[in-house]
Amino acid sequence: MSSPDAATPLTMHGVFIQIFDVGVLIAGGSGVGKSELALELLARGHRLIADDAAEFVDADNGRVQGRCPPLLRGFLEVRGLGILNIERMFGASALLASCPLDLILRLLLPTEVTEMPDRVYGQRNTRSVLGAGIPEIALPIRLGHNLAALAEAACRDQQLKRGGYDAAADFVERQMRAIEANATSVEERSA
């Protein structure tokens, strides 16, 4: 990351892609599989904004807007394959000039995982980008995981959260009601 002033964009390392209508920065260490995940998502019809060095600016509407430096536009570097021209491979509709940053997916190698994610809430936090709180989800990489399906599910969940629905809160509330109903039932049988 670089330190921006009002005229200088913030450059962040990763692949910036639009999944459904959610702008996602796929972040993580070198060689973790960011570009391979992006390639799978492009094959599923999602759209690339920037590979390797995405630029972010504070938009007039208070959201963070991301774009690609002109030199890198339309290209994706994939280890073992080299530089790929996404427009020529997938068509012009596979590229997007810019979009808001809505979510950061941080890919973690097994050696980077210090604790198992919470089974209800996952491994989520909020990251400050240009003063805006951006949701961040850490995804541990494990053999057999379908990262593209997980990324799509994270984006669908983010869409629901934007609409006011939180699945984890709903689940916890249902559990609490069931516990309370069971406790009431036990008290009534005991009386």
Q: Indicate the length of the chain as a whole number.
A: 191
Specify whether 119 is catalytic: yes
- Catalytic residue, chosen from 5, 60, 119, 189, is 119
Question: Which of 58-62, 65-69, 143-147 has maximum average pLDDT?
Answer: 65-69
pLDDT at 141 over 80: yes
The average pLDDT across 171-177 equals: 92
Output the domain CATH number for residue 68.
3.40.50.300
| 171 band by pLDDT with thresholds 50, 70 and 90 | very high
| 186 band by pLDDT with thresholds 50, 70 and 90 | low
Structural domain includes residue 122: yes
Smallest CA-to-CA distance from 24 within 157, 145, 141 is with 157
pLDDT at 78 over 60: yes
- Domain residues for the domain of 110 are 10-162
Specify whether 34 is catalytic: yes
Specify whether 161 is catalytic: no
Give me the pLDDT at residue 152, please: 97
The total domain count for the chain is 1
- Catalytic residue, chosen from 13, 63, 73, 127, is 13
2 vs 12, higher pLDDT: 12
Tell me the C-alpha distance between 76 and 50, whole Å: 8
Distance of CA 9 to the CA centre of its chain: 20
- Catalytic residue, chosen from 47, 51, 52, 102, is 52
